[in-house]
Amino acid sequence: MEPFVTSLPVAAVLPELLTALKTAPQVLLSAPTGAGKSTWLPLQLLQLLQQGPVAGKILQLEPRRLAARNVAQRLAEALNEKPGETVGYRMRAQSCVGPRTRLEVVTEGVLTRMIQRDPELRGVGLVILDEFHERSLQADLALALLLDIIQQGLRDDL
């Protein structure tokens, strides 16, 4: 990864975030635009998931189709790859994922349908709700379904 990334604001809170994730699977991170929440942090979490006790891929919710595609492109470039390898994206009528995809950027409707099809989200180790301040009915529904998974005891690690 590029050398400048350690100067991003979220780099300073990564140790605290990891500690929080170990004690409580649901963590809220608020940081200004350009802090690295959408691009740097997911790659760090991906690296840690691959090394750590939590198995599964990361789903990263992006509310807009263009943002989902662009974020996935940027994440893949940071790994010197093309989308569809380690990082992919999925939205209505368009999918760029492969068998090696470990970080999948999805839109709200896709995440909602994934949860409805598989309420346990088998194979998923972490869900990131990015840009959640851009509230919408679909984002709220996705959050409600995720909370329902936890409250029903289907998954206490999401």
Residue 136: pLDDT over 60 = yes
Q: What is the DSSP letter of 26?
A: -
**DSSP alpha helices (H): ranges in 24-104?**
40-51, 65-78
Region of 30 please: left (phi>0), alpha (psi -120 to 50) or beta. Answer: beta
In which band, very low, low, confident or very high, does the pLDDT at 1 lie, cut at 50, 70 and 90? very low
Helices and strands (DSSP H and E) totals, the chain: 5, 5
Cα gap 74→76, rounded to integer Å = 5
Per the listing, tokens 């840009």 go with: 131
In a domain, residue 119? The reply is: yes
Q: Alpha-carbon distance 88 to 26, whole Å?
A: 23
How many independent structural domains does the chain possess? Answer: 1
Both tokens assigned to 94: 């368009």
7 assigned to some structural domain: no
Structural domain including 63 reads 37-46+54-158
| 30: in domain | no
Q: Is residue 131 part of a domain?
A: yes
pLDDT of residue 4: 44
Query: 17 in a domain, yes or no?
Result: no
Residue 50 structure tokens:
């691959």
Lookup: tokens for 110: 């896709």
The answer to whether residue 8 is domain-embedded is: no
In the numeric block, which tokens belong to residue 5? 């990334």
Q: What does pTM read for this prediction?
A: 0.84
Q: List pLDDT tens digits, range 38-83.
A: 888 899 888 887 776 556 899 999 988 999 999 999 999 999 999 9
Provide the Cα torsion 45, 62, 117, 85; round to 10°: -60
Domain assignment present for 10: no
pLDDT for position 75: 95
Is 9 within 8 Å of 35 (Cβ atoms)?
Answer: yes
**CATH number of the domain within which 142 lies:** 3.40.50.300
Whether residue 29 is contained in a domain is answered as no
